[in-house]
Amino acid sequence: MRVVAVTGGGQGIGRAIALHFARAGYAVSVADSDATAGREVLAMLRATKIPVLFVQADVAREREVKSWLARTRRALGPVDVLVNNAGISRKAPLLELTPRDFDRVIATNLRGTLLCAQAAARQMVAARIQGAIINIASTRAFMSEPGTEAYSASKGGIIALTHALAISLGPYRIRVNSISPGWIETRDWKKKAKAAVPKHSRRDRLQHPVGRVGRPEDIAAACMFLAESAGFMTGQNVTIDGGMTVKMIYEE
């Protein structure tokens, strides 16, 4: 049985990725800093009858990352697929952004991605697994609203880290790609205490050439494609945004 490790898999897009891989027959290991979200996804995963593990961990901390992936190997086997999905944003006007907030976003989104990729790659190399690493970036790596310096920088870093990792891990036949989601509606994928029924205006929908806002399932399906069907792809970024970032907007 193949093993997938998903960071930030407790809720939102990560929860959809964890469930999608479980339904495809993968053993699933989730790390999330939110224990409540983790317990909820564990119960959902158990219903699929596949072997599962949840570990509360902060991806920015090397010790916690190493411990999560070591426990994953002991419980489920070495990792075949890693999805670096955990991410945070601290929207703040540029002139008020603190170095501390900037560092926290970079530590979670960028250092966390590196730490998990390193630890998972060590397992893949040791077990001679020709694995796949998928990093969740964002369309905000390429375009911005005001006050998103930390988040945009972290996501731009993930795109660059992805091609660097792809080159370093190429000799081991480990492929590394990123996905840049656009606007993905996650309110109905949040933990119970925060979940809500999504509502979108006509304008929201029409910003997207495909005529709707994105869903976590759209990203989960792309992760599966990169893991299973993209043997000739590495170091690449795939934008999944319903066409939003290729649409010109002229407002009168």
Q: Which residues bind ligand NAD (CB under 6 A)?
A: 7-8, 10-14, 31-34, 37, 57-60, 85-88, 108, 112, 136, 138, 181, 183-184, 186, 190
Distance CA 13, CA 204 (A): 19
What are the residues whose beta carbons fall under 8 Å from the beta carbon of 112, sequence distance 6 or more? Answer: 7, 58, 59, 60, 65, 84, 86
Q: Whole-number minimum distance, CB 120 to ligand NAD, in Å?
A: 15
Residues 10/20, Cβ–Cβ less than 8 Å: no
Identity of the residue, 112 or 242, whose beta carbon is nearer to ligand NAD in the bound complex: 112
Closest residue by Cα to residue 81 from 1, 141, 196: 1
**Catalytic site includes residue 172:** no
Q: Whole-number minimum distance, CB 66 to ligand NAD, in Å?
A: 14
Q: Whole-number minimum distance, CB 52 to ligand NAD, in Å?
A: 16
Q: Whole-number minimum distance, CB 217 to ligand NAD, in Å?
A: 12
Identify the active-site residue in 26, 151, 172, 250. Answer: 151
Identity of the residue, 28 or 184, whose beta carbon is nearer to ligand NAD in the bound complex: 184
Angle at which helix 112-126 crosses helix 62-76, to 10 degrees, equals: 40
Identity of the residue, 5 or 121, whose beta carbon is nearer to ligand NAD in the bound complex: 5
DSSP, res 229: S
Identity of the residue, 129 or 153, whose beta carbon is nearer to ligand NAD in the bound complex: 153
Closest residue by Cα to residue 179 from 214, 205, 203: 214
Question: Active-site residue numbers?
Answer: 151
